[in-house]
Amino acid sequence: MKKAIKIILLVLVLLVLVFFLFVPQYIDRSKNKSTLKGPFEKISWYDSIPFIADLHCDALLWNRDLVKEHTYGHVDLPRMQKGNMAFQVFTIVSKVPSGINIEQNDDRSDQIGLLSFAQLQPPANWFSVKKRAIYQADALHDFAERSEGKFRVIKSKADLKTFLFDRAVDRTLSSGLLGLEGAHCLENDLSNLNEFYNAGIRYIGLAHFFDNEWAGSAHGMKKGGLTPKGHSLLKKMEEMGIAVDLAHSSQNTIEDVFKHFSGAILVSHTGVRGVCDNQRNLSDEQLIKIGERNGLVGVGLWETAVCGTDAASTAKTIKYVADKIGVEKVALGSDWDGAYEMHFDVTGTPLIVAELLKLGFSRDDIEKILGGNIRDFFLR
């Protein structure tokens, strides 16, 4: 009997070890695949582009050591260097309901809580979206500290200016900025905004896949606009210089932001209904208003955004946005590592250049789209 109990306990221990050692990585590998594998052909002047940037990546979600190069996922620091990626916005995902879709979700379930448990994060993270968010922000700062000076976190215009000066001398340098998907991370307490700002977060998406205490989501149950608390949040964000990300926001929320927010506006990762008609994407009317506000639209790489998964689909949407509101107001907003199978990882960015050239874009315009517009946005 004692021998049987020992065997059962041993099997249980082995199962626990297998779960914690292999399940999180398996999820990452299975969710963040690339159809094509590099190296990718580059046009002769690609590596001479001074500043390539992307507005949206969820790599911090996956407990992957970004200082090391991986054969799975879409972004890490060595692959950023290979792709001549100077600047990547790392967005923080803290809660995702089960069965997510672009039509309608409630906030009752929480897959990220289970993921944080599987990743052996501190127990407090299992039950707190705020602590998960800070944990991911801290991780990016840790990667910077361990990068031997090759990667830095941008928290101010002065940081960005210094980085631009240094990178002109050393093209192996790269940088990142933090964004937040969903104001639910504030846990219904506006004072928590200060902690997020101190952690380096410089733009906030008001809602993610569900409505929250501050604003309605395009995929929520009610899809309302700003709540009274949401108006207070906007005022505080404007005072602190935190930009609003309209990705995932309901139409009512977007309209409220246009009316009541005078700060910087962007859409970090999206498509447009004129190319790919679904409620995840921006209407022409919304596009034009963003353009009028001198905002920035990041075009995604995944199928729901551009009705395709190849570089040509993304380039087609970029052209549509540029034609509607100007080439200075469109950028890359990949959603790499966002639990989608992409056509390519960060090293495949040259494929987008090739497709933009086919559509008649000049080198000057391509350099704006690939990063110049993002640089100028964060320097304003």
Output phi, psi for 87, to 5 deg. -150, 120
* 257-293 CB burial, b ≥16 within 10 A, e <16: bbeebebbbbbbbbbbbbbbeeebbbeeebbebbbeb
Tell me what pLDDT residue 7 has: 55
Crossing angle of helices 284-292 and 251-260, rounded to 10° = 20
Tens of pLDDT along the chain (380 residues) come to 666 555 554 444 444 444 455 578 889 999 999 999 999 999 999 999 999 999 999 999 999 999 999 999 999 999 999 999 999 999 999 999 999 999 999 999 999 999 999 999 999 999 999 999 999 999 999 999 999 999 999 999 999 999 999 999 999 999 999 999 999 999 999 999 999 999 999 999 999 999 999 999 999 999 999 999 999 999 999 999 999 999 999 999 999 999 999 999 999 999 999 999 999 999 999 999 999 999 999 999 999 999 998 999 999 999 999 999 999 999 999 999 999 999 999 999 999 999 999 999 999 999 999 999 999 999 99
Residue 45 has φ and ψ, to the nearest 5°, of: -100, 5
| Per-residue model confidence (pLDDT) at position 3 | 63
Concatenated DSSP letters of 128-194: -HHHHHHHHHHHHHHHHHHTTTSEEE--SHHHHHHHHHHHHH-TT-EEEEEEEE-GGGGTT-TTHHH
Closest of 355, 353, 379, 318 to residue 49, by C-alpha:
353
Interatomic CA distance for residues 304 and 268, integer angstroms = 15
Q: Phi and psi of 54, rounded to 5°?
A: -140, 140
Per-residue tokens: 308? 């395709």
Residue 4 φ then ψ, to 5°: -65, -40
Quick check: 340 and 333 in contact, CB under 8 A?
Answer: no
Please give the Cα distance from 297 to 320 (Å, whole number). 11
Interior CA angle at 179 toward 225 and 335, to 5°? 90
Beta strand residue intervals within the chain, DSSP E: 52-57, 85-93, 151-153, 174-181, 201-205, 243-245, 265-270, 296-299, 330-332
Q: Rounded to an integer, what distance in angstroms lies between the CA atom of residue 199 and that of residue 178? A: 8
Give the torsion through C-alpha atoms of 113, 29, 151, 331, to 10 deg.
Answer: -90
CA atoms within 13 A on the CB side of 138: 8
Question: What is the model's pLDDT at position 175?
Answer: 99
Residue 32 tokens read as: 């963040």
By three-state DSSP, how is residue 15 classified? helix
Report the distance separating Cα 298 and Cα 178, nearest Å.
15
3-state helix, strand, coil in the chain (%, to 5): 50, 15, 40
Contacts of residue 155, defined as CB under 8 A and 6 or more positions apart, other chains included, come to 177, 200, 202
Q: Which domains does the chain have, with CATH numbers?
A: 51-379 (3.20.20.140)
